[in-house]
Amino acid sequence: MSSNKKPFIIGIAGGSGSGKTFFLNCFLHHFKQDEVTLVSQDDYYIPAGEMTQEENKLYNFDLPSTIDSEQFLKDIKQLMNGEVVYKKEYNFNNPLAVVKILEIKSAPIIIVEGLFILHFKEIAALLDHTIFIDSDEQIALDRRIKRDGLERGYPEDDVLYKWYNHVVPAYKEYLLPYREQCHKIVMNNTDEPEEIIAVTEEISNDLKRNILVDVQ
């Protein structure tokens, strides 16, 4: 990538249970490693300290104030300048997890993903192309129950409490208002990998045609 070319910034936003992670993994798969880099909002949670199960249930992670948006913005700008970013990986408040240091290298395409990336005005202003991953609420909830139960060991009652008190209100206030402004909306109601692979291939091919030639 020549130093005078600005990377192309893609913002990918979607609510909890929308299938955003699977979409992202499929999307990234269509690019070579040196063509694309990913910076995730999840790695910018402000540490909440160790919590009991009850405290964790009541703590609202679905607020913009839980994110270090200034550092998030700063790191995106560093990547845009061709610099390498070093970042602690967020471990979802698991005191037993080994903290990994992420080395995020710049690339011609930078993907910024997260729940609040459209709400954070200074970050939204940097995005050249925005993709909104959406799904029906019941499907999203079913996915959340499955994920939180399997991966994080949360009881279903706790997942439901967070869903109705934190997740849905945050989605409606901080993400949904920006849906129609996005360049592309992807409805992800099936759990059929072939469909998402086909969609991500179509989007990535389109982007490669239009931008990789320009930014390299």
Which pLDDT value is given to residue 2?
A: 42
Q: Which of 89, 99, 111, 102 minimizes the C-alpha distance to 39?
A: 111
Look at phi and psi of residue 24 and say left if phi exceeds 0, alpha if psi is from -120 to 50, else beta: alpha
Interatomic CA distance for residues 60 and 62, integer angstroms: 5
Radius of gyration of the chain (CA): 17
CATH of domain 8-215: 3.40.50.300
pLDDT by 10s per residue, the chain, length 216? 444 588 999 999 999 999 999 999 999 999 999 999 999 999 999 987 777 778 877 889 999 999 999 999 999 999 999 999 999 887 766 666 677 898 999 999 999 999 999 999 999 999 999 999 999 999 999 999 998 877 777 889 999 999 999 999 999 999 999 999 999 999 999 878 888 899 899 989 988 887 765 655
Torsion sign, CA atoms 137, 58, 72, 96:
negative
Residue spans of the domains in the chain: they are 8-215
Element of type H or E holding 25: helix 20-29
* Residue labelled with tokens 């979607």: 14
Which pLDDT value is given to residue 1?
A: 41
Which pLDDT value is given to residue 73?
A: 98
Which pLDDT value is given to residue 90?
A: 76
Tens of pLDDT, residues 187-202:
999 878 888 899 899 9
Q: Which of 27, 47, 23, 39 minimizes the C-alpha distance to 120?
A: 39
